[in-house]
Structure 1
Amino acid sequence: MKTKEMIAREEALGKRIESYWDARSPKFSAVRRRELEGSDAARWQKFIASHLPEKKPLRILDVGTGAGFFVVLLTRMGHEVTGIDMSAGMIDEAQKNLAAFGCRADLRKMNAQQLDFSDEFFDVVISRNLTWTLPDAMEAYREWHRVLRAGGMLLNFDSDYGKTTFSAADARDSVHTGIGEALLIECNKIKDELRVSTHRRPLWDADLLEKLGFSVQYDADIAPLVHGDESLRYDDVPLFGIYAKKVR
């Protein structure tokens, strides 16, 4: 059980995380638009489709939707999608991208660790590059399990950034270009304060998800399958993929 001090610390950290992503939202969104306009969108769409149940339309929750990349792809595929993010700036950018690509979805400002949905509401929960930023990834996974129906799928794509130090030199020539020094410093400080940064991933995630009631499979690095656009240079940290079916 969390103490008052632990709760207060997480709340303060959560506000810093929210401010960080608010500040990054316009340039982050520009990168996601480049992805949606380029060849990687089709790669992601094909890859995700291979891990989704055959039923259509699926009721899908995109947690940490950011600028709405997955929301656009999944609505194009004919699914009913809800996208949530704690950053109001990101939700604004996602709204713009939905309009730009002619898509409609339900977007809400919401905490990934405290979902405002009833039990077993979604067929699929999906997330990209989110869990490494959460104050309590374990609590988030519990919530995602709660809102998934029996037999539903959790798809999580993330990287083990715990031992990585983000630098201006790395950002300058990558998809993260334009991040100022102050934001890089804050990003590293936040990352180093997060408990998830101390774990070996995705092994830690898989073990936890199995204990929560999922049947779990994962790939250590899916980047070669979804990052093929040579005009977009991503960081060198492997992008793992977790595919978890709720079995209890």
Structure 2
Amino acid sequence: MTQSGNFNLRDEIREYWSMRAVTFDDQPGHEIFSDQERLAWHDLFRRHLGDGVLGDGTVRRALDLASGTGVISHLLHDLGFDVTGLDWSEAMLAKARDKSKLRQSNIRFLLGDAENTFEDDDSYDVIVTRHLVWTLVDPAMAFAEWLRVLKPGGKLLIVDGDFVSPTWMSTLNKTMANLLHAIGLKRVIDETPQIKTHRDILARVHFSQGARADAVCEMLKSAGFDPVTTDFNMRQIHRAQSKHLGLAKGLERGAQHRYAICAIKP
């Protein structure tokens, strides 16, 4: 892909997520809708990152990349981290700043590109991304950038998944929908412009066939992270989210290849 093609794709991705900002927090899997889910996220972060304040009182710095409306930033803030959220959508940042003001948090939200942060070398103790890697145009460049801004011994936590490859549940849901349509019990809903845009973008990102954990881990190792470990135990989070989804949608989400990857800068 040419450099100009990459630039145009990045522009499209930014515009797409800016458009999504209006309703982003309305969807389960984006905003937190229960204390059960909030505690499940806290448990995941503590399991891999520890708390934000060390025994000697040192406050650790955290960078939330593609911070969106600030959901992950606030979860890290709950644990005592000094948090910076970075996003390249002004619409997302506006919502994040409003939320931060309402909750009286001291989170900094900055406009920036997750693949080229312009943050200082060795400046963060932890970096967290949620559902960012699968959208990256150049993940190798991004991983090298994240390694650069982490302090030695710092940790990167990637929460992501393969949202492309069909699962047994998505196949069943599609089969049932086609059957109900065939017998006249379900009408076909026309594809929205938003869905068309999403599909077009997905076809051109690096992980267009799905961001599988093993492929992401290999790229992280090539970037210089060591060790790199994968945690597939996302059950508590999925269980909490599924209470706010329909049965079929909840089962489909639970069947997806979702994971948390923790990578350390030597």
Same fold per superposition (TM over 0.5)? yes
Query: Where do residues 80-229 of structure 1 align in structure 2 (5 Å cutoff)?
Result: 80-163=82-165, 181-198=192-209, 201-214=212-225, 215-219=227-231, 221-229=232-240
Q: TM-score w.r.t. structure 2 length?
A: 0.79
Rg: which structure is higher? 2
Report whether the alignment pairs 1:52 with 2:71: no
Greater mean alpha carbon deviation, residues 94-103 or residues 126-135: 94-103
Separation in structure 2 between the aligned mates of residue 37 and residue 86 of structure 1, nearest angstrom: 28
- In the comparison of the two structures, how many residue pairs are matched? 231
- Secondary structure at the residue paired with 2:256? coil
- Secondary structure at the residue paired with 2:67? coil
Shift of 1:111: 0.4
Shift of 1:61: 0.4
* Contact 2:161-2:210 at 8 Å conserved across structures: no
Q: Read off the aligned partner of 1:123 and give its amino acid letter.
A: D
Separation in structure 2 between the aligned mates of residue 161 and residue 227 of structure 1, nearest angstrom: 14
Report whether the alignment pairs 1:16 with 2:44: no
Question: Relative to structure 1, is the Cα distance of residues 222 and 97 closer, same or farther in structure 2, using a 3 angstrom cutoff?
Answer: farther
Query: For each residue in 1:163-202, what CA deviation from the matched residue of structure 2 results, as whole angstroms up to 9, or x when unmatched?
Result: 4699xx99xxxxxxxxx71111110110011122246611
Residue in 2 that maps onto 1:7: 3
Separation in structure 2 between the aligned mates of residue 246 and residue 192 of structure 1, nearest angstrom: 31
Separation in structure 2 between the aligned mates of residue 193 and residue 164 of structure 1, nearest angstrom: 18
Query: Where do residues 57-76 of structure 1 align in structure 2 (5 Å cutoff)?
Result: 57-76=59-78
Q: Read off the aligned partner of 2:206 and give its amino acid letter.
A: R
Query: For each residue in 1:107-150, what CA deviation from the matched residue of structure 2 results, as whole angstroms up to 9, or x when unmatched?
Result: 01110111111111101011000111121111111100110111
Separation in structure 1 between the aligned mates of residue 123 and residue 196 of structure 2, nearest angstrom: 39
Percent of paired sites with the same residue: 26
Question: Relative to structure 1, is the Cα distance of residues 13 and 182 closer, same or farther in structure 2, using a 3 angstrom cutoff?
Answer: same
- Secondary structure at the residue paired with 1:140? helix
Question: Relative to structure 1, is the Cα distance of residues 61 and 51 closer, same or farther in structure 2, using a 3 angstrom cutoff?
Answer: same
Unaligned runs of 5+ in 1: 171-179
Unaligned runs of 5+ in 2: 175-190
* Contact 1:223-1:239 at 8 Å conserved across structures: yes
Q: TM-score w.r.t. structure 1 length?
A: 0.85
The alignment's C-alpha RMSD in Å is: 2.3
Shift of 1:37: 4.7
* Contact 2:31-2:71 at 8 Å conserved across structures: no
* Contact 1:145-1:246 at 8 Å conserved across structures: yes
- Secondary structure at the residue paired with 2:22? helix
* Contact 2:86-2:114 at 8 Å conserved across structures: yes
Shift of 1:20: 0.6
Separation in structure 2 between the aligned mates of residue 114 and residue 202 of structure 1, nearest angstrom: 23
Q: Read off the aligned partner of 2:47 and give its amino acid letter.
A: S
- Secondary structure at the residue paired with 1:227? helix
Q: Read off the aligned partner of 1:227 and give its amino acid letter.
A: H
Separation in structure 2 between the aligned mates of residue 138 and residue 52 of structure 1, nearest angstrom: 23
Report whether the alignment pairs 1:238 with 2:257: yes
Separation in structure 2 between the aligned mates of residue 112 and residue 164 of structure 1, nearest angstrom: 28
Separation in structure 2 between the aligned mates of residue 107 and residue 126 of structure 1, nearest angstrom: 14
